[in-house]
């Protein structure tokens, strides 16, 4: 049953990305272009997401279980450290250069094309490099 809920959630999320324009790198880059031809329409998408997710997280926290009756795993409050800041900067630069972040890039694979494919391959390679670096760091090498 958990897989069914995951499939439905992924479909709703992907549909939302397409309908909102977040899967279109040109629209995202226009949103990020504050000094040029700025397109503020994605502010409404983000605002709508906050209006839905805020109450949803509050209800989920109070419920304590997922809809599939599994254990609820919400992120805790972490501290802001150098690793978080560097990671955020790398994410933001990648988003600004390519117009993709992970979710929209995967959704864009459905349309084909070289750009989303290259982005996803580079993203997966970056995840692999990070995992290797984390293992080295944990082992003290």
Give the pLDDT of residue 110: 87
**How far is residue 39's CA from residue 27's CA, in Å, rounded to a whole number?**
7
Give the pLDDT of residue 136: 93
- For the segment 16-54, what is each residue's pLDDT rounded down to a tens digit? 889 988 889 999 899 989 998 899 999 998 999 999 999
Give the pLDDT of residue 118: 92
pLDDT < 50: residue spans in the chain: none
Domain around 131: 2-139
Give the pLDDT of residue 6: 87
List C-alpha distances in Å: 68 to 21, 57, 65, 74. 30, 16, 8, 15
**How far is residue 29's CA from residue 102's CA, in Å, rounded to a whole number?**
15
C-beta separation of 88 from 14 below 8 A: no
**How far is residue 106's CA from residue 119's CA, in Å, rounded to a whole number?**
9
Domain count along the chain: 1
The whole-model pTM stands at 0.72
Inter-helix orientation angle 25-32/82-98, to 10°: 120
- Which DSSP letter does residue 77 get? P
């Amino acid at each position: 049953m958990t897989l069914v809920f995951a499939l439905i959630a992924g479909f709703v999320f992907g549909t939302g990305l397409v309908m909102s324009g977040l899967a279109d790198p040109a629209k995202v880059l226009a949103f990020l272009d504050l000094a040029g031809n700025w397109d503020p329409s994605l502010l409404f998408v983000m605002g709508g997401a906050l209006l839905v997710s805020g109450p949803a997280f509050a209800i989920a926290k109070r419920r304590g279980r997922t809809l599939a009756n599994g254990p609820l795993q919400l992120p805790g409050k972490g501290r802001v450290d150098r690793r978080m800041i560097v990671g955020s900067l790398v994410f933001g630069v990648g988003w600004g250069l390519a117009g993709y972040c992970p979710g929209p890039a995967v959704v864009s694979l459905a349309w084909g094309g070289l750009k989303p494919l290259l982005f996803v391959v580079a993203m997966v390679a970056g995840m692999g490099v990070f995992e290797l670096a984390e293992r080295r760091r944990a082992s003290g090498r």
